[in-house]
């Protein structure tokens, strides 16, 4: 793989990662909101979108990121994952529709 191809692959990998986070966040937020779990919905949305947006601002090449960037992203991802886990561990999840 030449340099240009490697750069494109890094861009696509990064985009796929933060877009996946955004999709999961919005899906789980909607499930929580529809179940009237508004506190959980708010937590999912705020933590998930913060993690997604922060990752979008980082260098494409993970080796170009500082340790502080890597650590901050790990904390944000953990917070977002915990918010989703608080929903998915709720009895009845994914809840019946109307």
14-29, pLDDT tens digit by residue?
999 989 999 999 999 9
In a domain, 40, yes or no: yes
Mean pLDDT of the region 42-49: 98
In a domain, 60, yes or no: yes
In a domain, 77, yes or no: yes
In a domain, 44, yes or no: yes
Q: Which domain holds residue 59?
A: 3-88
Lowest-pLDDT choice from 2-6, 8-12, 26-30, 41-45: 2-6
Confirm whether pTM is higher than 0.85.
yes
In a domain, 48, yes or no: yes
Q: How confident is the model at residue 83 (pLDDT cuts 50, 70, 90)?
A: very high
In a domain, 62, yes or no: yes
Burial call 2-37: b when 16+ CB within 10 Å, e when fewer: eeeeeeeebeeebeeebeebbebbeebbebbeebeb
Total tally of structural domains belonging to the chain: 1
In a domain, 41, yes or no: yes
């Amino acid at each position: 793989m030449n340099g240009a191809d490697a750069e494109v692959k890094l861009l696509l990998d990064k985009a796929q990662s933060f877009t996946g986070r955004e999709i999961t966040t919005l899906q789980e937020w909607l499930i929580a909101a529809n179940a009237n779990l508004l506190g959980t919905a708010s937590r999912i949305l705020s933590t998930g979108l913060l993690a997604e947006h922060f990752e979008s601002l980082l260098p494409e090449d993970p080796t170009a990121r500082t340790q502080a960037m890597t650590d901050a992203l790990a904390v944000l991802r953990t917070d977002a994952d915990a918010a989703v886990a608080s929903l998915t561990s709720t009895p009845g999840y994914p809840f019946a529709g109307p």
